[in-house]
Structure formats: C-alpha cells, structure tokens
C-alpha cells in the first residue's frame, strides 16, 4: 500500500539552462558540485538549490569537464579537463584554482579517498608537530593551508588507454599504475590501501561492441609500508607546494618589472639609427658630463623625446620596480628556496634508511642532484640581488646628473642641493656610461637594440637564451681560485654556478631535476601493483553512446568497516534491468565474502497506479551506495504503458544478504562474460515497504547521494531538471523547526537567485515540471 506521507522530504527543484554531465555531493556540507556541457563548474546549496559560485570555462584551464571529486574533508573540489589534460584543485569558499597540474592523457574518472587504517606509529606521526614549523621561518603567505590534511589521503585518476595515477594529498604523484586495459569508467582505492578496484571499457575495434570489465589490483606495497608512505607523501607535498610558491613569487617579480624600464634602451637605439654624426652615443654623453654641452641631436633626444617629466617618471618607475623585486627575492624567493633545501635534505636522510624506504624507490643520488639544483637557484637569486643593488645605485646617480643637465638645457632653475656634484660622483657616472653605453651591433642582431642599460629584466625573461649582459667576473679572486683548483670544481659541497643563464632558466632546470628525482617512487610503487582479479562483466550496446558517460553504471564503493569493495551494475534479463551487486574483499588473498547477487524489484505500488500483477515490474535506472548499509536506486515501471512512474527508493543490504551462503552459490566461469551466465546468478526479489517515493511529473534517470549529510539529488533524463531530497525525515514538529531555521539562515546569508524566492520553498517543491519557470528565464 502507498504511505500517507512520502518517505523523503523534497527541499528543492530547478530547471537548469545547461545539460548537467556530472554531480557530486560534498562529504561534509550540504553542497553539491555540478559540471555542465558548457564546461562550467558550479556549486549549489541544498536549500532551494541556491547557487554559491560558478567557475566559467576559459582557454587556460579548459572547457570540457570529464570528472569531479571532493577531498574527504570537503574543503577542496578537484575536476579534470579533457581538452587541456589538466587537473584543477579549487577552493570550496571561492571559485579560484589553488593548484593545477597536467597529465599525459585525458581523465575519465577520479576518486579521492582517505586512509583510515590505524597504527601507533601513524598516530604518533600525525600528532607530532612538524619540525619544519619550528626550524624554518614562516613564509609570508603559506600555500599549504589548503593542502594540509590530518590523515593521508589520495586522489586517484583514471583515463583512457589504461591510464591510472595516484596523487598523495591531491598534490604529488606517488604511483603510476600500468597493466590495465581500456578506458577507465570507475575507480575505488580501499581505505586500508590493500587493493584498487577499476572498471574499464574495452573496445577491441571501432566496429565491435565495447566490453565492461572489472579489475581488482593488489596494492599491498602501499599498505605494508603505510607509515613510510605517509611520511614520504608529506615530504612530497611540502616540496610540491614550495615549488608552486617559488613559481608564484617569480610571477609576482615579473609583474613588478615594467616595460617602461626598457624605454632608455629603445630611445638610445632610435638615436643611433637617426643621428647623422659619427660620434658614438657614449662620447656624446661623455662630452655632456665633462663640458656641460650637448650636440643638437642629443639635445633633441633628451628634450623632445625623453623630456624632463619623462625622465623623472622613468627614475621613479625604476626605483619602485627594483625595490618591489628586491623585497620579493628576500622575503619569498630566498625563504621558499631555503625551505625547499631543508625538505629535500630530510628526504635524502629518509632515502639513506634503505631498510624502510628503498622498497618505495627513494634514491639518495637523485635527491643529491635535486639539492644541488636548488643550491644553484639560490646562487642565481643572490646574483640578482647584487645586480638590483648595483643598478639602483647606478641609475640614481645617472638620473640625478642627467636631470640637472636637462634643467640647464631648458634654462630652468636648479636647486642648490642638486647642483652639487663631487669628483667622486663624476667618476661614478663616467664608469656607468663606459660600461652601459657602448653600442653593440651583435646585440642589435639578437634583440633589435644596441644597448642594454637595464640589467634586471634579463633575469626575469622566460627564455633559453643567455643573458645579454652577464655579471663581470674578471678579477674576482674566488673565481680565479676555483679555476686553478681542479678538486674544488668537482666538490659536491659547492653548488654549480651559471653566470650566463637567467633566473627563469635555472628555475626550470631545478624543477625538471626535482620532478625526475621524485618520479622514481611513483614508477617503483606503480610496478609493484599487480592484477589479482579480472572479470568480464557485459557488453555495451551502441545505442547507449548518447548517454553521458559520467552517469553510466557501474558504480564502485568501499566499505571501510568490513573492508569490502562493492560493484553496482545493471544487466537486462527478459526486458527487466536488474541491479547486480558484485563484492570483493580488499585483501586479494582472501575469498571470504566474495560473490555476486542479482536484485529484482517486485510491485510495491497499489493497484490505482499499476494494475499489473507482474512481480517483476520495475527496472533499475541508476544505483549508488547511500552508506555502508543502504543503496539508493531510481526505478522505472517496465510495463508497456503511457506515463510510466519513476521511483526513488532505499534498498537495505540487510534485506539482501540474510543468508551467509546466498552469494556463494554462483559458480564462476572465467572464460565467459558475466552477462552470458546471468541466468545462473542468484537472484533476490525485493518488495519495498516504506523507504520509497514516486517522482511525479519527472522523468528521473540519475541520482547522486550523500549518506553522511542524508541528502540526494535526482536528475532527469534530459539532464536539465533536478530535485533535492532529505532522505531521513524526522517527525513533523522537528521538520517544521528545521524549515524555519533554514529560512532564517538563508535570509541572513547570501541573497537567493533571481526567480527563486527564499520563502517560496513550498511552492517550488509542490510545482510540477510544467509549472517551473522556463529555462530561458532562469538566471543561473
């Protein structure tokens, strides 16, 4: 019989302007992330489906979202983009990228899990304060705020051609898994790190039907060395974060350097090209310095093109720009580099403990090369500081003298304090002119200019070319000493120095060496992963290709309590789509609890809705685990009639696995596909009594659930119509109190969307699909 009241409470409904291709609930909040066909990622609240923020597609990140995953604490949302092959980690508070990285192939699925395995060693490690916080100065702005997490967690990526990678804390790759065929359609790494379940779609040729296959991979190396993996992953994350910090600091330095600083070089080059005299530019300025007289051409350059006002502005720009860059180098670049050196040195110490870390692929020699590369980068940063300091002094003296000379040319009054110039000042300016104002035809052929008066910008150019004006090392006693000492040249205690290269070049070189050094553990751990089980499930008909791949079953679930992997999928039998539950123990050496069970749904609606007496009258459209004990399903009437009802229901596992031996009666035949043995699979017929609700006026097709927050979102077959439900409804009095609290909170918080009034929740919930606002009128 039908219940007087629906089992689940509807709290929102919306017609969307774009087709949704993926949706995922936050594990900790009443927030749901959506991705649509336009490439937009959106975050909505449960109440009234209120939008929190949206991240539109762009050329840099990408436009084709193919996967979504939440970090277990719900503070970071990860999504993959097929067109740019990038992974973006986004802050839940605002739509901005916190971290991104590239992958070799486009991602088709991602899974973000938390390691829940307990041990005394891990507990003491988690509770101990990080020594780096005590020994290293705090960075002015810490990037690792969003990337730190109490327990080890891992972002598992799956893509085409068997591509699978595991990233610790979503930041650094710790495993590259090989040996899996097909394009990944589902992933689930067990919380004890003992096994990885993978669903792939294998298509042998373009003409043949694709075949869905289940793989269970043994990842026992990660489980056996869990404390070591956790320590190593934490170090990797530190290093990855600091590399991003240095990159960001260098970007800020490049932004602080302005193109106006090149004005002097371009003006002097134009002067050389247009002047008719044979006198060099250096001689022209020397005559002005010594005799106070300038040629007519030089006067025209200074008074008409450069101008007194322009010179003053140029001087102020140089001083401001150089001061900003200097502060960034000292406060950010040097601090970040020293922290990077510290963590690499600690990683080397771990690598030397071969009993613990050799099996994980840590290589002390490779880490030595990374330490050396960081040292070279620090030397280059110090060189830049010296160039900035020298340039600021030179430009200050030069501009002061030239400013006074131009005031005299224009017969303006010169202040007495500016008019004083000692012999030492004259010598200083003369040396500056000698060094910086020499015409260089070779430089014109390379850079299109004859002069390189401004020396700082060349260090910030992201180019492979050598520096235009490298530092002068002639007469440097230390350089001469190194040249004469063969042993010191090869000493591991001295960092290599690249006087001809830019800071950007040395940074790229450092990043490449560190990436290569830290790639080895990912390769070693990946090679240790081996296939334990391979089950061919069923073939996919060509007609299914139009369905968004991200919504297709199978669905994988990890039961942390009983250490079981569950696979949910549907197979047709006599025009009825039955849900099948395959379960495997995470310990691949055990066969306990392994098996398969088919579930069919009997008629549980009364005769006023369906007159058929067929006990198998419902097909399963979608199924997801609500929690470890319950599966949420979307069902459809299978009888041939107009207006088939769609039903949202909760299926308790306890109603299925009542007999311990129920799922062991099936005799596997590894030669045949599972769909070819469907008639022999044990079947349980279920008649739901209470936990279901008819989805009226909605052609429901897909569902996304969150058992922690006890909510669900149902999506229609046209991918534009959503309904939100609270799944565990309490008594009416408590429900009314909650509704009043939600209304007060929304009214006090962010304004609701247009055409979606806060106090109109009941009207929206009761409206049919036809009564909802037209999608063209919705402001999303």
100-126 pLDDT, tens digit each: 899 999 999 999 999 887 766 667 666
Quote the domain boundaries for residue 619. 553-735
Question: Which own/partner contact pairs does 197-203 have at CB distance under 8 Å and 24+ positions apart?
Answer: 197/556, 197/558, 197/565, 197/567, 197/584, 198/158, 198/164, 199/537, 199/554, 199/556, 199/567, 200/162, 201/540
Least confident of 448-452, 594-598, 627-631, 766-770: 766-770
Q: Are residues 643 and 511 in the same domain?
A: no
CA distance 720 to 138: 48
pLDDT at residue 97, as a whole number: 86
Residue 640 is assigned to a structural domain of this protein: yes
Structural domain contains residue 77: no
* Torsion angle, alpha carbons of 343, 349, 354, 360, to 10: 0
189, 113 contact by CB (below 8 A): yes
Rg (C-alpha) for the chain, rounded Å, is 34
508 & 591 share domain: no
Strand partners, 679: none
366-378 average pLDDT score: 94
208 is a domain residue: no
Domain end point (choices 502, 521, 540) = 521
- How many Å apart are CA 747 and CA 724, to the nearest integer? 20
Residues 584 and 457 in one domain: no
Examine the pLDDT at 531 and tell me if it is beyond 60.
yes
Closest by CA position to 90, among listed 532, 726, 81: 81
DSSP 137: P
DSSP string across 406-437: HHHHTT----HHHH---HHHHHHHHHHHHHH-
Q: How far apart are CA 621 and CA 604, in angstroms?
A: 17
- Residue 413: both structure tokens together: 């009054």
- Highest mean pLDDT (candidates 146-150, 222-226, 416-420): 222-226
Number of residues that this document lists for the chain: 780
CA distance 174 to 191: 16
d(CA 321, CA 288): 28
In terms of domains, do 515 and 561 share one?
no
Examine residue 151 and state whether it is found in any structural domain, yes or no: no
Greater confidence (477 vs 702) lies with: 702
* pLDDT surpassing 60 at residue 737: no
Whether residue 568 sits in one domain with residue 516: no
Could you tell me the pLDDT band of residue 266, with boundaries at 50, 70 and 90? confident
Q: Are residues 232 and 292 in the same domain?
A: yes
β-sheet bridge partners, residue 88: 79, 100
Question: Is the domain of 363 the same as that of 492?
Answer: yes
The verdict on 358 and 485 lying in the same domain is yes
pLDDT tens digits for 42-62? 999 887 888 999 999 887 778
pLDDT, position 774: 38
pLDDT digits (tens, 9 = 90+) for 472-505: 777 778 878 887 887 777 777 788 888 888 899 9
Per-residue pLDDT band for 348 (boundaries 50, 70, 90) equals very high
pLDDT, tens only, 192-207: 899 999 999 998 777 7
Contacts (Cβ under 8 Å, ≥6 apart) of 367: 344, 347, 348, 351, 517
Nearest-angstrom CA–CA distance, 230 and 211: 37
What is the percent of the chain where pLDDT is above 70? 79
When the pLDDT of each residue in the chain is averaged and rounded to a whole number, the result is 79
Sequence-distant (6+) residues with CB within 8 A of 605 are 2, 645, 647, 694
The domain tally of the chain equals 2
Q: 381 and 318 in one domain? A: yes
What per-residue confidence (pLDDT) applies to 94?
Answer: 87
Shared-domain flag, residues 510 and 567 = no
Does 537 map to a domain?
no
Structure tokens at 233: 């992953």
The first and second tokens of residue 139, run together, are 């960075």
At 308, is the secondary structure helix, strand, or coil?
Answer: helix
Q: Which residue has the tokens 């940074």?
A: 507
Q: Are residues 580 and 699 in the same domain?
A: yes
Does residue 554 have a cis peptide bond before it, meaning omega lies within 30 degrees of 0?
yes
Sign of the Cα pseudo-torsion (65, 70, 75, 76, in order): negative
The answer to whether residue 693 sits within a structural domain is yes
Residue 97 within any structural domain of the chain: no
pLDDT at 546 over 60: no
CA 751 – CA 67 distance, rounded (Å): 29
If pLDDT is split at 50, 70 and 90, which confidence band does 671 have?
confident
Q: Is the pLDDT of residue 268 over 90?
A: no
* Any domain includes 770: no
Do 447 and 334 share a structural domain?
yes
């Amino acid at each position: 019989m039908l219940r007087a009241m629906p089992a689940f409470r509807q709290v929102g409904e919306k017609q969307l302007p774009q087709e949704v291709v993926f949706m995922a609930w936050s594990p900790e909040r009443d927030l749901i992330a959506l991705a649509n066909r336009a490439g937009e990622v959106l975050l909505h609240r449960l109440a009234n489906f209120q939008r929190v923020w949206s991240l539109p597609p762009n050329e840099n990140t990408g436009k084709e979202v193919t996967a979504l995953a939440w970090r277990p604490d719900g503070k970071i949302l990860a999504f993959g983009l097929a067109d740019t092959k990038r992974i973006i980690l986004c802050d839940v508070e605002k739509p901005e990228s916190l971290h991104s990285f590239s992958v070799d192939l486009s991602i088709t699925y991602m899974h973000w899990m938390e390691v829940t395995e307990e041990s005394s060693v891990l507990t003491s490690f988690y509770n101990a304060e990080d020594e780096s916080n005590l020994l290293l100065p705090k960075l002015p702005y810490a990037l690792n705020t969003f990337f730190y997490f109490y327990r080890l967690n891992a972002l598992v990526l799956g893509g085409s051609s068997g591509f699978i990678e595991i990233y610790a804390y979503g930041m650094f790759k710790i495993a590259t898994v090989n040996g899996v065929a097909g394009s990944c359609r589902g992933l689930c790494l067990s919380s004890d790190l003992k096994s990885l379940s993978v669903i792939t779609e294998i298509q042998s040729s373009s003409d043949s039907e694709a075949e869905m296959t289940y793989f269970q991979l043994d990842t026992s190396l990660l489980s056996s060395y869990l404390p070591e993996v956790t320590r190593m992953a934490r170090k990797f994350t530190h290093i990855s974060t600091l590399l991003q910090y240095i990159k960001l600091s260098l970007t800020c330095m490049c932004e602080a350097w302005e193109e106006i600083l090149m004005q002097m070089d371009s003006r002097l080059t134009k002067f050389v090209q247009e002047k008719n005299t044979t006198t060099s530019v250096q001689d022209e300025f020397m005559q002005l310095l010594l005799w106070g007289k300038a040629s007519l051409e030089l006067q025209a350059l200074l008074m008409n093109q450069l101008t007194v006002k322009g010179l003053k502005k140029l001087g102020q720009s140089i001083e401001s720009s150089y001061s900003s860059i200097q502060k960034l180098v000292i406060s950010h670049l040097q601090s970040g580099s020293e922290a990077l050196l510290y963590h690499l040195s600690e990683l080397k110490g771990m690598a030397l403990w071969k009993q613990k870390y050799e099996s994980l692929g840590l290589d002390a020699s490779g880490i030595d090369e990374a330490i050396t590369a960081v040292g070279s980068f620090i030397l280059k940063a110090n060189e830049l500081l010296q160039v900035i300091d020298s340039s600021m002094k030179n430009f200050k003296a030069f501009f002061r003298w030239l400013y006074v000379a131009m005031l005299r040319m224009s017969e303006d009054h010169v202040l007495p304090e500016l008019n004083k110039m000692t012999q030492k000042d004259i010598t200083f300016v003369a040396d500056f002119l000698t060094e910086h104002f020499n015409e260089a035809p070779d430089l014109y052929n390379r850079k299109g200019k004859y002069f390189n008066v401004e020396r700082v910008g060349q260090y910030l150019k992201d180019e492979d070319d050598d520096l235009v004006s490298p530092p002068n090392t002639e007469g440097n006693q230390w350089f001469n000493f190194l040249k004469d000492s063969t042993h010191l040249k090869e000493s591991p205690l001295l960092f290599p120095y690249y006087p001809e290269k830019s800071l950007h070049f040395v940074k790229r070189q450092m990043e490449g060496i560190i990436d290569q050094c830290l790639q080895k553990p990912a390769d070693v751990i990946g090679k240790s992963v081996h296939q334990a089980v391979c089950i061919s499930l069923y073939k996919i008909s060509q007609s299914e290709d139009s369905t968004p791949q991200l919504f297709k079953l199978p669905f994988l679930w990890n039961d942390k309590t009983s250490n079981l992997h569950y696979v949910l999928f549907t197979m047709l039998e006599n025009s009825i789509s039955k849900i099948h539950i395959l379960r495997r123990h995470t310990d691949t050496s055990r066969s306990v609890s392994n098996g398969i069970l088919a579930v069919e749904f009997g008629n549980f609606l009364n005769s006023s809705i369906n007159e058929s007496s067929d006990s198998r009258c419902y097909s399963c459209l979608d199924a997801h685990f609500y929690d470890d004990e319950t599966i949420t399903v979307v069902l459809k009437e299978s009888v041939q009639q107009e207006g088939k009802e769609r039903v949202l229901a909760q299926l308790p596992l306890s109603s299925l696995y009542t007999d311990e031996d129920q799922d062991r009666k099936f005799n596997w035949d590894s030669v045949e596909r599972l769909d070819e043995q469907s008639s022999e699979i044990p079947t349980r017929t279920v008649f739901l009594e209470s936990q279901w609700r008819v989805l009226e006026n909605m052609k429901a097709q897909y569902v996304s659930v969150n058992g922690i927050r006890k909510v669900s979102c149902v999506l229609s077959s046209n991918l534009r119509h959503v309904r939100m439900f609270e799944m565990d409804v309490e008594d009416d009095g408590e429900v009314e109190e909650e509704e009043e609290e939600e209304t007060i909170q929304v009214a006090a918080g962010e304004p609701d969307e247009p055409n979606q009034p806060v106090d109109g929740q009941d009207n929206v919930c009761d409206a049919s699909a036809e009564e909802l606002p037209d999608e063209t009128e919705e402001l999303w």
